[in-house]
Chains A and B, each alone.
Chain A
Amino acid sequence: MVEKHFELITHFDIYVFLIPFLPLIASVITLIFGKKYFRDKAHLLPILALFFSFLLSIKVLIEVINGKIYHFDVYSWMFAYDLKVGLGFLVDPLSAAMITMVTCVSFLIHVYSVGYMGGDPGYYRFFAYISLFTFFMLMLVLSNNLAQLYLGWEGVGLCSYFLIGYWYKKKSASDAGKKAFIVNRIGDFGFALGIFLAFYFLGTLYYNEIFPKLPEISNKYMGVLGYEVHVPFLIAFLLFCGAMGKSAQFPLHVWLPDAMEGPTPVSALIHAATMVTAGVFMVCRLNPLFELSNAMMFIVAMIGAFTCFMSATIAPTQFDIKRVIAYSTLSQLGYMFMACGVGAFIAGMFHLLTHAYFKALLFLGAGSVIHLLHHAPDPNDIRIMGGLKKYMPITFWTLLIASLSISGIPGFAGFFSKDEILAQAFFSKYPWGKFIWFIGWVVAAMTAFYTFRIIFRAFYGEFKGWEYIHGKPHESPRVMTIPLIFLAIGSIVAGWIGIPKALGGRNHIEEFLAPVLGHPRIVHEVSHSTEYLLIALSILAGLFGIFLAWLVYIKKPELETFFSKKVKPLYTFLFRKWYFDELYHYTVVIPTLWISRKIVVAITDNTIIEGIVNGSARLVNITGKGLRVLHTGIINHYSTFILIGIIVYLLVYLYLK
């Protein structure tokens, strides 16, 4: 840990410091003065701030590419005996890559929101919140210690709460925000315990002090409830609980679909590109810790795989366009965790970066359509869309690019990153690699299917939402379509930094991130022929998915209801999201409230404890009433008592003598 005194501050320090703090300042000013002074120009400060942050991030990125790795503390945040925690920054390839992506995507979404949120009464609030969110995300990514990570972690959760529940008058929106925060908190409960445990065994919370100490604990065991548990496993597992919450992996995935209550730019920014990726980021950042425990790697991979598969089965059944994309996000996050779980951290990060672009694009494109239909009772419903290809060309083409990217069609970014994951999984030194590859391969086909389902339903066929719009459907304003175009370029180009050697590329990203994330954990040298075979297989999967979607939604529309009618129970199971919401409601929510109401309040508090308290008062009361009987008012009785008293006294006196 390097303490920086004012004399030694360099330009670089200030740049790094400004990257998160420009959005923070913009956010605070907009929040306090936005309502009165900025009104509908409230977007100015945040957009300016984000733009400069983006430029600064590029500068930092260039410096890091040239080899600079830097960490410093801004000031000492908490200091108590052995615990020293500061607010500081760590600039290395991982964080540089992240901040560039975060500021870029955030900036584009800020611009987009000018169009999407125009006219909304809480305009200033929206921009203040997404700037604040960007601040927290940057703090999370740039942090150099676990406590600051937690600060950013909770901070993005907070902003997510505000933004999901942005239209707070709607009960469903407020509920969704609350659900998100609480499910996240459950994850954070584990996360906090992980931090404590890390401090207990490693004595520090700073990354650069933790990593050298890891070998010390690599063989340590700890007694938990009678079992001997591997310490690195326990720490990693607890920290991973937080990741499960934040990145919406099973079993804490239930908040993400509900989070679609928020405005679409929010979904794009938070629930596609940034916040939900924080979990992946954390696992990658702490990869030395996770790799100490094979059991943990297995769990990460399996949870990723399960989430990936589960959401891919739910997505094709949903009619809400945003929910489909939400489940798609869950699935792609599953990919990233699967990558981490087989040691392919670089591949996971690569996919994180490409996914940010095409997923944000998918959301914003969907937002474009939703914006058109915003007078409808449910503007997200794909059943009222259709035939928009000729009315909204830019939206169509950019969405098409995003869909091709996510389906893993060659040339597009998604192809390179997804393929990297699949290849690394197949050749991984971890025994479950091939199984992961298999899941990834199957889901790739499903991904292509449900994504193109949306494309075909919304842009081909007949438009069905005439009653909800004025005149003809039209393209969105430029302030919305230009970010779409930029994101589309990103969805293609972002993959080119990772062209694998097998296809003639230099795999820049692997070189770039290797110092931090290590080299691929593969068994031995890969044979190019197998690699080509795998590539061919994944292309086939993608094409198959697209073909199937074309078949069902364009060629033979009657097939659409085939599945839902023939296998009704299975269909219902998938449509109802595997009944998780119901499960949690009945096993967690209802019992807790029941216990609270019936037992805690009614029985222990009111009856037992209050019974004792009020009971003692009543006891005094009754005793008094009882003794009162002796006060008859009749003199003769009183004299008798006096006599008895005297006799007793005499007897006692004589006895004591």
Chain B
Amino acid sequence: MEFLLNNLLSWIIWFPLIGILIILFTDRKHESFIKWISLITILIDTILSIYLLANFDFSKTGFQFVEKRRWVEFINSYYFLGVDGISILFVPLSTLTTLLCILISWDSIKELVKEFYLALLFTNIAMVGTFCALDLVIFYLFWEAILIPMYLIIGIWGGPRRIYSTIKFFLYTFFGSVFMLIGIIYLYMKFGTFDYTMLVNQKYPFLVESLLFLGFAIAFAIKVPMWPVHTWLPDAHTEAPTAGSVILAGILIKLGGYGFIRFALPMFPQAALYFSKLMLVLSVIAIIYAGLVCLVEDDLKRLIAYSSVSHMGFVTLGIFSFNPIAMKGAILQMINHGIVTGALFMCVGIVYDRTHSRSISYYGGLATSMPIYAAFFMVFTLASIGLPGTNGFIGEFLILLGTFLSNKTMVVFGALGVIIGAAYMLWLYQRVFFQELNPNVAKMPPLKINELVALILPTILVFWIGLYPNLFLNFMTTSVQNLLMNLK
């Protein structure tokens, strides 16, 4: 037990490697075996990550479960891992999302099954690693490592325009990351270390700090995505297979927000303050702009993709308000969004598997042929528009209230997103589920057990976080306070 606890993070990160190895040596035709192995592997990984949560000490302010090992001493880079109140919730989110992806792809991926599950497991490793990394090289490594399996997932198992989308996704995000790399290298040249805990306390002349901030910010802004660098997202989300979209929307996007909170803000506080106005404006634009696009979209997945942009606008709004309430709301909203939008993409995937159409005009009256599914979709719709009682409300409320305390005008515009959100989601629901039964969807196979389980888990979380969020908010209290104290 001690061994497990001391290296828990490494266990969580690398455990899927066992699954990968087993699958690698399995013959390609044993598809069922492959799926079960990956399911069990990720299930154990999820349990480990919940165990991580259970052993988190709320009172400590620094990093916990820290591991530091020699890696490349020549450039003073260590294998340095650790979690604090800000990053800890993302670890179970990652593993849980991968679990849901495996469940949802059970029957929908038919070719190259072995490679697909390998890619999924590998993605999981990279995602968890990114959230735990405290050494800039390790962080960058994991950050980029996610791109490769995602590139493959979208490019091989995706929709008709997958090649264009995946290359766009890869190059766009990579382009941003390069600026971050320049920043990282500069920091090393200046201070001789990649250690995050030491770099946080450094001071820089303002110009340098601004440039460094911008370098990191470009990478994170593209990942979030903020307006105007958001255009890779709709294509990537629409063309990706269901599992790809869920991971993209569920986790990948959060890396951007997490990056801001973990790196850009604490390491370059003056610059962050200087650019905060700009970031707030871009966030508000994202909220409203993306919302307006959603109003007129006909492609189901593209609509939800743009709604992601809108929701992440709320998150960045909360982050750059530098208010503790809003910051807590932003982190929670990232978790919420991962659950809700992931679930929405799963819903779309369920229906797409049956009809192979993403066009909203193809559907109608689905509530008659698939009532249970309609109920689940309604839950996630309500969570997406922030109905009190669901998790979406808590996040939005905290963000808007907190931001209001620092910057009233931004909130007035941001709150308009609440109206637009309700408008497009309810209109979507009406066109797809209500009204006359469209003959295209008259005969629909019922929900399978794996789809049902994949939908029940997020539903439970939606209401749990919505009604008792303190359990989740408490993780962040000390860390966020710490972060903002240093910012002043």
Contact = CB atoms under 8 A, between A and B. Distances in A.
Contact between chain A and chain B defined by CB under 8 Å: yes
Contacts, number: 135
B434 A174 contact: yes
B272 to A, nearest CB: 20
Interface string B280-293: 00000000010011
Contact of B470 (A79, A170, A181): A79
A180 B473 CA distance: 33
Interface string A68-90: 00000001111111110000000
Interface string A589-633: 000110111001100110001100100010000000000000000
B295 interface: yes
Contacts of A75: 468
A177 to B, nearest CB: 8
B296 A597 contact: yes
Interface in B337-374: 365, 367-368, 371
Given A185-B419, A196-B400, A596 B325 contact: no
Contacts of B365: 169
A609 B289 CA distance: 13
Interface in B402-427: 402, 404-405, 408, 411-412, 415-416, 418-419, 422-423, 426-427
**Which of A155, A193, A595 counts the most B-chain CB atoms under 10 A from its CB?**
A193
A595 B394 CA distance: 31
A193 B382 contact: no
Contacts of B231: 605, 609-610, 613
Contact of B293 (A76, A158, A196, A601): A601
B220 interface: no
A181 B385 CA distance: 11
Contact of A596 (B292, B418, B434): B292
Given A175-B430, A185-B418, A196-B404, A596 B293 contact: yes
A185 to B, nearest CB: 5
A182 B419 contact: yes
Main secondary structure of the interface of B (DSSP, over half): helix
A510 B196 CA distance: 67
Interface string B455-488: 0000000000001111001000100010000000
B400 A78 contact: no
Interface in B285-337: 289, 292-293, 295-296, 324-325, 328-329
A150 B388 contact: yes
B473 A178 contact: no
Contacts of B393: 151, 154
Nearest to A157: B387
A199 B328 CA distance: 17
A623 to B, nearest CB: 15
A192 interface: yes
Contact of A181 (B367, B389, B422, B477): B422
A182 B426 contact: yes
Contact of B415 (A181, A192, A601): A192
A364 to B, nearest CB: 27
Nearest to A225: B409
B296 A596 contact: yes
B436 interface: yes
A419 interface: no
B415 A80 contact: no
Main secondary structure of the interface of A (DSSP, over half): helix
A197 B400 CA distance: 11
B42 interface: no
Given A155-B389, A196-B404, A601-B296, A81 B467 contact: no
A232 interface: no
A192 B437 CA distance: 37
Contacts of B387: 154-155, 158
B434 A613 contact: no
A188 B469 contact: no
Interface string A139-173: 00000000100110011001001000100111100
Contact of B404 (A77, A182, A200): A200
B262 interface: no
Contacts of B481: 81
Interface in A574-598: 592-593, 595-597
Task: Pick the 4 closest A-B CB pairs, nearest first.
Answer: A151-B388, A174-B434, A196-B404, A168-B434
Interface of A: 35, 75-83, 147, 150-151, 154-155, 158, 161, 165, 168-171, 174-175, 177-178, 181-182, 185-186, 188-189, 192-193, 195-197, 199-200, 592-593, 595-597, 600-601, 604-605, 609-610, 613, 617
30 contacts: A78-B469, A79-B473, A80-B329, A81-B324, A82-B325, A147-B397, A151-B389, A151-B393, A158-B382, A158-B387, A168-B433, A169-B437, A171-B435, A171-B436, A178-B426, A189-B415, A193-B404, A199-B401, A199-B404, A592-B292, A592-B295, A595-B292, A596-B295, A600-B289, A600-B296, A604-B289, A609-B228, A613-B168, A613-B231, A613-B232
